[in-house]
Amino acid sequence: MINLLAMAAERRIDISTLTTAALATVVKVEGSAYRRPGARMLIFSDGFRLGTISGGCLEADVAARAVKIMTTNTPGVIRYDSRSGFDPVTEMGCSGAIEILVEPINSSVIHSLEFIASFEQERGSGFIATVFRTESGCTVSDGYRLMHRWQNNFAGDVLDDLILSDMQSSLEKVRTENIPVVQTVSLPGWKGQAEILIEPVQSPISLILCGAGYDAVPLSQIAAILGWNVTIIDHRDFLLDAHKFPESIRLVPDRLKEEIRFDDRTAVITMTHSYERDREWLKNLLTTDVGYIGVLGPKKRTEQMQGDLLEEGFALNDLDRMKLHTPTGLDLGAETAEEVALSIVSEIQAVFNRRNGGFLRDRKVSIHTHSPIVKVSIGQEDSCLVLV
């Protein structure tokens, strides 16, 4: 998920001081579309935009419509449907429908952006539930949000608790499958229904490179472009030259490696080009919660490391073998450091997105995992849950 606050900060824009701006969020997709629900774009009064919500064909039209929303200070949902022959989506070439919630900047919008940004430093995962369509007289209004970290106990008001209790199946799907879900909720006492987008929020991938050689440079550059948090560790201080790497990269001397924290959104590449040091890194990493371990070099070299570790009484279990990727990277026929970097980053992206990294032309289902549409009616004898 893109951190729009960070993008704004890079341009010295303080979102909290804005009085005239709008946030556009893709809230619902039917059929094919370039972006999934949760894609966001900030629109400023002068027409400047941060972020994208399509392949480039909807942004200008949404920005133009956002001017009226800024003026009236009332959120609204814009629907584009290529099946009706509407030009912007037809030009995009996707045979589907897209609904976009456009909201004037307010405390709720800013809070949601701050919530997303908080996962950069305080790692973890959670969700944002956004009401984007309500029937007349409904208890909540468009733009109402619930935001929660899975690691914390939920502390909301009575209405929040009611909504959460009726979204349990959807929340579980968001948590376990890491995909957005659209749900229609009807609660006792409500005069109408509310349509809600529930989307996962999680920390960006943390990439740790054990080795600061020349081949770490393109790897760190590509990862930085993707918005990953990159840390480079090396026992050779002279290689930790800040001028070689992107400004956002964290450089850590080997003597301070105990400060590094690992979690299941962490990928580590051992690339010191020293057999002994790579073997020691492998041994230490297998005792952590790291989600991906890549070892640069031929498979026989890593097999020898595993044999050494076995002699030390350290045997790999099934989970260890699943996390271990050796040689690291996808089979792209890579030769140069830049090509190898592309191969490694591609495999990490595939692993964390639960894909196999194959050819898209061979997929039997759509490229994007569609957001399931859920309809729920609670508090009635004919309560039902339907997944479409």
Tokens at residue 67, please? 């001017």
Work out the pLDDT band at 189, boundaries 50, 70, 90.
low
| pLDDT over threshold 70, residue 89 | no
- Beta strands 206-210; 125-134: pairing state: unpaired
pLDDT at 52 over 80: yes
What is the tens place of the pLDDT at every residue in 95-128? 678 999 999 999 889 999 999 999 988 999 999 9
The whole-number average pLDDT for the span 215-232 is: 96
Residue 87, pLDDT score: 52
In whole angstroms, give the CA distance from residue 206 to residue 264. Answer: 9
Sorted by where each starts, the structural domains of the chain and their CATH numbers stand as 4-106 (no CATH), 110-203+372-387 (no CATH), 206-357 (3.40.50.720)
Instruction: State residue 245's pLDDT score.
Output: 96
Using one digit for the tens of pLDDT, what is the confidence trace for 307-347?
A: 999 999 989 999 999 999 999 999 999 999 999 999 999 99
Question: Given strand 49-51, what is the order of strands in its sheet?
Answer: 49-51, 40-44, 21-31, 96-104, 76-81
Predicted confidence band of residue 386 (pLDDT cuts 50, 70, 90): very low
Helices (H) and strands (E) in the chain, counts: 11, 17
Beta strands in the chain (DSSP E): 21-31, 40-44, 49-51, 76-81, 96-104, 125-134, 145-149, 181-186, 194-202, 206-210, 229-234, 250-253, 266-270, 292-295, 324-325, 373-377, 385-387
Residue 57: its pLDDT value, please?
85
Pairwise CA distance, residues 206 & 263, whole Å: 9
Contacts of 160-167 with C-beta under 8 Å, sequence gap 24+, read 162/187, 163/129, 163/187, 163/196, 165/378, 166/376, 166/378, 167/129, 167/196, 167/198, 167/376
pTM of the model: 0.85
Q: How confident is the model at residue 154 (pLDDT cuts 50, 70, 90)?
A: low
Q: What is the pLDDT of residue 380?
A: 37
Average pLDDT over residues 34-59: 90
DSSP bridge pairs for 89: none
pLDDT band at 377 (very low <50, low <70, confident <90, very high): very low
Residue 24 has pLDDT above 80, yes or no: yes
Determine the average pLDDT of the residues in 215-244: 95
Please check whether residue 369 is in contact with residue 33, taking contact to mean a CB–CB distance below 8 angstroms: no
Q: Is the pLDDT of residue 90 over 50?
A: no
More confident residue, 26 or 368: 26
pLDDT value, residue 104 = 94
Torsion on CA atoms 269, 274, 279, 282, rounded to nearest 10: -10
